[in-house]
């Protein structure tokens, strides 16, 4: 394979969010950040892994509905304004009386200190409660959707994204599922607000018409209550609309995080290690154990034979092993050598042809025996330890197999 094809394949395997943008493409107004269309990328068929979701969350990329934030941001201040209406009314009346009373008493060109102080005092009394409630509502609506997430990456300047790309922008906003949903959502909001405003105002039209004939303050109170009722009704309707919007945003978010098969493989390699490297390490370990066969066989508890062609040495140390482990195995000449070392060191030899063949075929040196052989090995160990005062080892092994 040529070096050019290798570079091309490496570029395709590299995740889209980490892939460097070519100079020509970065200046091309017809190109747009792939994250805008992550759900539509060809080849991204695998569900996002927990690692990718966690990484996206750490970068501030989460699924949330702006409709919910807007509805809560409208509802909380409106309810606050309704509950604290008398307080705001008294403050505004006091403010009007103060400033109107100062008109003929103070020259603001020479003595503006009291006027400025009074202005900021009244301004804080009227705005701070509403601003505080609005901030609490914004935080609450975000925490409700995504929990506590803090990241500066979404507000980090990225000058590659300020190049005008009108073609892709209109494609995303008008000719995509997201664009169609947003258009339908905006249209539905206009219809809902219009219908609710019409029904609310038309039901009070006679009272509104009689306001011209009544006193000023009752008229202001009635207009305020009518406005607050309409605002709260609209906010509640927007809350209901935020539920399907959040579900849609959640779906789009998960689609945008989908991974290609190559990305899944690369992530698996990073987390679990390269399978080829792990295979080589296991092979190296087996080689070392095979070389140390002369030292491993004397430590074995039993050697299971074929009796001629196979020999498998098993060791079980309950303090450091969960199950008996194969410490040496071999066929023909190697098997004869294992049996000779075992005989010279007093290691019991037990003939069991099916078990010897199965262990040789299925268990590598250094590996514990599979669960399905527990009963058979327990019987072998019970036979070996019988009469040695260590029969409890065989009983323990039988209990593990059960």
Give residue-wise pLDDT tens across range 50-83: 888 888 887 778 888 888 888 898 899 989 988 8
The Cα 102–Cα 153 span in angstroms is 51
pLDDT at 158: 65
pLDDT at 159: 64
Q: Is pLDDT above 50 for 162?
A: yes
The tokens of 291 are what?
């070389």
Angle in degrees, CA 336, 337, 339, rounded to 5: 65
Q: Is pLDDT above 70 for 202?
A: yes
Q: What percent of the chain has pLDDT over 90?
A: 7
Q: Is pLDDT above 70 for 332?
A: yes
The DSSP H or E segment spanning 349 is: strand 349-351
Cβ–Cβ under 8 Å, residues 142 and 70? no
pLDDT at 170: 63
Domain 277-401 classified CATH 3.40.1690.10?
yes
pLDDT at 261: 82
pLDDT at 173: 62
The Cα 235–Cα 137 span in angstroms is 13
Rounded to whole angstroms, what are the CA distances from 380 to 304, 310, 351, 402? 9, 16, 9, 15
The Cα 44–Cα 263 span in angstroms is 9
Residues 251/256/262/264 CA torsion (nearest 10 deg):
-50
Q: How confident is the model at residue 391 (pLDDT cuts 50, 70, 90)?
A: very low
234-251 pLDDT, tens digit each: 999 988 888 888 888 888
pLDDT at 334: 82
Q: Is pLDDT above 80 for 119?
A: yes
Three-state secondary-structure class, residue 310? strand
pLDDT at 289: 59
* DSSP code of residue 48: P
Three-state secondary-structure class, residue 326? strand
List the strands of the sheet with 302-305, edge to edge. 325-331, 310-315, 302-305, 349-351
Helix residue ranges, H only, 147-215: 166-174, 177-203, 205-210
pLDDT at 5: 37
279-301 pLDDT, tens digit each: 777 677 667 656 677 778 888 88
For β-strands 325-331 and 349-351, DSSP reports them as: unpaired
Cβ–Cβ under 8 Å, residues 11 and 22? no
The Cα 55–Cα 94 span in angstroms is 54
Domain-wise residue ranges, the chain: 66-264, 277-401
The tokens of 357 are what?
């063949």
pLDDT at 171: 63
Q: Which residue has the higher pLDDT, 34 or 333?
A: 333
pLDDT at 392: 47
DSSP-derived secondary structure for 101-155: HTTTT--TTT--HHHHHHHHHHHHHHHHHHHHHHHHHHHHHHHHHH-S---SGGG
Q: How confident is the model at residue 172 (pLDDT cuts 50, 70, 90)?
A: low
Cβ–Cβ under 8 Å, residues 67 and 182? no
Burial (CB < 10 A; 0-12, 13-18, 19+), residue 30, is: exposed
pLDDT at 255: 85
Highest mean pLDDT among 20-34, 308-322, 344-358: 344-358
Residues in the chain: 402
Tell me the pLDDT of the chain averaged across its residues: 76
126-141 pLDDT, tens digit each: 999 999 999 999 889 8
Give mean pLDDT, residues 23-44: 44
The Cα 67–Cα 141 span in angstroms is 10
The Cα 270–Cα 261 span in angstroms is 14
Point out the least confidently predicted range of 66-75, 78-87, 117-126, 157-166.
157-166
For β-strands 325-331 and 302-305, DSSP reports them as: unpaired
206-218 pLDDT, tens digit each: 888 888 887 887 8
For β-strands 302-305 and 310-315, DSSP reports them as: antiparallel
Q: Is pLDDT above 60 for 25?
A: no
Cβ–Cβ under 8 Å, residues 397 and 381? yes
């Amino acid at each position: 394979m040529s070096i050019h094809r290798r570079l091309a394949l490496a570029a395709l395997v590299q995740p889209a969010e980490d892939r460097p943008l070519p100079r020509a493409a970065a200046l091309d107004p017809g190109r747009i950040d792939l994250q805008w269309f992550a759900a539509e990328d060809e080849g991204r068929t695998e569900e996002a892994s927990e690692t990718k979701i966690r990484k996206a969350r750490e970068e501030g990329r989460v699924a949330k509905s702006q409709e919910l934030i807007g509805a809560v941001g409208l509802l909380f201040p409106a309810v606050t304004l309704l509950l604290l209406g008398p307080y705001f009314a008294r403050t505004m009346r006091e403010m009007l009386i103060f400033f109107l009373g100062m008109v003929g008493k103070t020259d603001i060109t020479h003595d503006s200190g009291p006027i400025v102080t009074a202005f900021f005092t009244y301004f804080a009394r009227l705005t701070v409660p509403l601003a505080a409630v609005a901030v609490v509502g914004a935080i609450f609506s975000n925490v409700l959707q995504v929990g506590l997430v803090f990241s500066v990456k979404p507000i980090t300047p990225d000058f590659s994204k300020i190049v005008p790309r009108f073609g892709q922008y209109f494609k995303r906003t008008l000719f995509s599922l997201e664009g169609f949903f947003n258009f339908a959502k905006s249209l539905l909001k206009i219809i809902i607000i219009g219908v609710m405003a019409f029904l609310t105002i038309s039901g009070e039209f006679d009272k509104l018409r009689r306001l011209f004939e009544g006193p000023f303050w009752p008229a202001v109170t009635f207009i305020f209550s009518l406005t607050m009722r309409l605002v709260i009704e609209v906010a509640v309707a927007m809350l209901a609309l935020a539920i399907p919007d959040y579900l849609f945003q959640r779906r789009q978010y998960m689609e945008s995080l989908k991974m290609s098969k190559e990305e899944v493989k690369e992530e698996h390699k990073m987390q679990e290690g390269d399978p080829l490297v792990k295979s080589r390490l296991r092979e190296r370990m087996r080689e070392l154990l095979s070389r140390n066969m002369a030292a491993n066989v004397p430590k074995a508890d039993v050697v299971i034979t074929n009796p001629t062609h196979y020999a498998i040495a098993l060791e079980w140390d309950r303090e450091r092993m969960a199950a008996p482990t194969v410490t040496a195995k071999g066929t023909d000449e190697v098997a004869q050598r294992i049996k000779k070392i075992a005989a010279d060191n007093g290691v019991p030899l037990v003939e069991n042809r099916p078990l010897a063949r199965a262990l040789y075929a299925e268990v590598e040196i250094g590996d514990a025996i599979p669960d399905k052989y527990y009963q058979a090995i327990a019987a072998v160990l019970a036979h070996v330890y019988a009469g040695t005062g260590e029969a409890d080892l065989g009983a323990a092994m039988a209990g593990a197999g059960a």
